[in-house]
A = this chain, B = another copy of it.
Amino acid sequence: MASRAVIKTSMTDRDRMEKIVSLAKRRGFIFPGSELYGGLAGTWDYGPLGTELKTIVRNEWRRRFVLGRTDMVQIESAILMNARVWKASGHLESFTDPMVDCRQCKARFRADKIDLAAACPQCGARDFTGARPFNMMFKTFIGPVEDSAAQIYLRPETAQGMFTNFKAVLDTMRPKLPFGIAQIGKAFRNEITPGNFIFRSREFEQMEIEYFIRPADWEAQFEAWLKEMRGWIASLGLDAARVHEREVAAEDLAHYSKRTVDIDYDFPFGREELYGIAYRTDFDLGQHAQESGADLGYFDEAAKERFVPHVIEPTFGLDRTVLALLLEHYQEEGAKDGTRVVLKFPPRIAPVKVAVFPLLANKPQLVERARGIFERLQGWRRAMGEGLVAWDDRGNIGKRYFSQDEIGTPWCVTVDFQTLEDGTVTVRDRDSAEQERVAEPDLVALFEERLKA
């Protein structure tokens, strides 16, 4: 098959989002949560391909920010934490949205999302209560008695786990400033209006870093981490033209922050926050020191002084990363042999690394030979600990290519009659749609080389 002229088709933003949601469901990336029972708003289940994609993103993040550094440790703190954590952090008091109730139909709305001068969007009445703060943390009770002493919360962010473990990490690992504590894990927010697919959900996964520094270094460290974040974004193949760093205005800063930059992405539903970086000063450690009575200071041996470190916090949403990857790399291309849908993931990120096809399913020699290649490639991915290998012997080869394109598989290997003669297979490239013949023993080295690119 010769290389072909590629015509990108045009899509509206709305189309694009619908297509991504549909593809994600149809091909086993992401299913609506509890769909069997009509769903549970704001929750999503990751299917086989979505799980592998998420696993790879987590691994890449760990490679870059944990395994590749000498100034970072990773922890996994519990989702259930002592309620005093949220008193100290300010979440109990301030992690709220203003809500109004309709006195007629009892429906509840976010006061800042409806027109209070107009009528109730549900029943049409114009009789609202005053706005009251609604805390977005999920509440539960621990232990056998459901009283206020037993009331706890699902963590609304992983960050506080790093602050509450700061002293334990300091005492056990004895790191020197500057150093960071990283965490990947679930967080929960009882959003009143979850939406935009996995963009705003009630259960989501964060990858966060609390980087502890000397106060005087904050500006340089902020810039250094912003650069690190740019490097990460580039590694995902996100087009820089769609990524925007937005300096949060002084009057909009959270109470704990002296500088925050939101890293926005042009989602189809608008320019919205993908990641963020905040200079949190010593607010969190100071609050926890005060609330717990513990000494959360660091002794600087060179300067012979003790002080509470300041913090730079780069934070990354895992689900938003997945959404940006799907949106960014989704392409429809018209060609003589039909329109194809392609997820042009960077090969390192692709959940399925390679697919193996016997040219014909009813030729045992081809199938057996292809099976051997499939198993060797699978052994390679098993050793690497990530990335699937697909097998397909259904329908014609063109259809199989298109099917793999749609899930972003970078390479398809076809075993044909020539393979039986000279031991070469066809390797078809997802992006160029070009094919080359490769000797079977060279396959892994070829893919490893291209995965590094």
Whether A79 and B203, one on each chain, are in contact in the complex, defined by CB atoms closer than 8 angstroms, is yes
CB contact under 8 A between A108 and B77, given known A36-B167, A165-B31, A169-B47: no
> What are the residues of chain B within 8 A of A35 when measuring CB–CB?
164, 168
Roughly how many angstroms separate A154 CA and B59 CA in the complex, as a whole number?
A: 27
Contact of A78 among B44, B48, B74 (CB under 8 A): B44
Say yes or no: is A209 at the interface (Cβ < 8 Å to chain B): no
Whether B384 and A34, one on each chain, are in contact in the complex, defined by CB atoms closer than 8 angstroms, is no
Say yes or no: is A141 at the interface (Cβ < 8 Å to chain B): yes
Q: Report A412-450 residues with CB < 8 Å from chain B CB.
A: none
Whether A143 and B190, one on each chain, are in contact in the complex, defined by CB atoms closer than 8 angstroms, is yes
Roughly how many angstroms separate A224 CA and B61 CA in the complex, as a whole number?
A: 37
Closest B residue by C-beta to A63: B382
Roughly how many angstroms separate A30 CA and B253 CA in the complex, as a whole number?
A: 35
Which of A122-130, A132-140, A298-306, A362-370 lines the interface with chain B?
Answer: A132-140
Say yes or no: is A51 at the interface (Cβ < 8 Å to chain B): yes
Say yes or no: is A52 at the interface (Cβ < 8 Å to chain B): yes
| Most chain B CB within a 10 A radius of its CB, from A39, A52, A68, A140 | A140
Whether A47 and B28, one on each chain, are in contact in the complex, defined by CB atoms closer than 8 angstroms, is no
Whether B385 and A78, one on each chain, are in contact in the complex, defined by CB atoms closer than 8 angstroms, is no
Roughly how many angstroms separate A45 CA and B161 CA in the complex, as a whole number?
A: 8
Say yes or no: is A340 at the interface (Cβ < 8 Å to chain B): no
Whether A28 and B80, one on each chain, are in contact in the complex, defined by CB atoms closer than 8 angstroms, is no
Say yes or no: is A233 at the interface (Cβ < 8 Å to chain B): no
Whether A48 and B36, one on each chain, are in contact in the complex, defined by CB atoms closer than 8 angstroms, is no
> What are the residues of chain B within 8 A of A203 when measuring CB–CB?
78-80
Contact of A76 among B28, B54, B106, B143 (CB under 8 A): B54
Say yes or no: is A144 at the interface (Cβ < 8 Å to chain B): yes
> What are the residues of chain B within 8 A of A108 when measuring CB–CB?
144-145
Whether B75 and A45, one on each chain, are in contact in the complex, defined by CB atoms closer than 8 angstroms, is yes
Whether B59 and A75, one on each chain, are in contact in the complex, defined by CB atoms closer than 8 angstroms, is no
Roughly how many angstroms separate A187 CA and B301 CA in the complex, as a whole number?
A: 43
Say yes or no: is A152 at the interface (Cβ < 8 Å to chain B): yes
Say yes or no: is A378 at the interface (Cβ < 8 Å to chain B): yes
* Interface residues contributed by chain A, number (CB under 8 Å): 87
Say yes or no: is A280 at the interface (Cβ < 8 Å to chain B): no
> What are the residues of chain B within 8 A of A188 when measuring CB–CB?
79-80
Per-position binary interface string of chain A over residues 81-112, scored 1 when its CB falls under 8 Å from any chain B CB and 0 otherwise: 11011000000000000010000001010000
Closest B residue by C-beta to A54: B76
Closest B residue by C-beta to A192: B144
A66 to chain B, nearest CB (A): 9
Whether B40 and A82, one on each chain, are in contact in the complex, defined by CB atoms closer than 8 angstroms, is yes
Say yes or no: is A119 at the interface (Cβ < 8 Å to chain B): no
Say yes or no: is A37 at the interface (Cβ < 8 Å to chain B): yes
Whether A78 and B40, one on each chain, are in contact in the complex, defined by CB atoms closer than 8 angstroms, is yes
Whether B142 and A40, one on each chain, are in contact in the complex, defined by CB atoms closer than 8 angstroms, is yes
Whether A80 and B43, one on each chain, are in contact in the complex, defined by CB atoms closer than 8 angstroms, is yes
Chain A to chain B: the 7 pairs with minimum beta-carbon distance, closest first? A34-B82, A28-B172, A48-B73, A37-B82, A43-B78, A45-B77, A108-B144
Additional pairs, 12, CB under 8 Å, beyond known A47-B172, A67-B386: A28-B169, A33-B78, A37-B85, A40-B80, A45-B76, A48-B75, A63-B382, A70-B378, A138-B142, A141-B190, A142-B202, A186-B186
Task: Give the B-binding residues of A (Cβ under 8 A).
Answer: 25-28, 31, 33-48, 50-52, 54-55, 59, 62-63, 67-68, 70, 73-82, 84-85, 99, 106, 108, 134, 138-145, 152, 154, 161, 164-165, 167-169, 172-173, 186, 188, 190, 192, 202-203, 288, 291-292, 294, 378-379, 381-388, 391
Q: Can you name 9 A-B pairs with beta carbons within 8 Å?
A: A36-B85, A48-B73, A62-B385, A68-B382, A80-B202, A108-B144, A138-B142, A140-B154, A186-B186
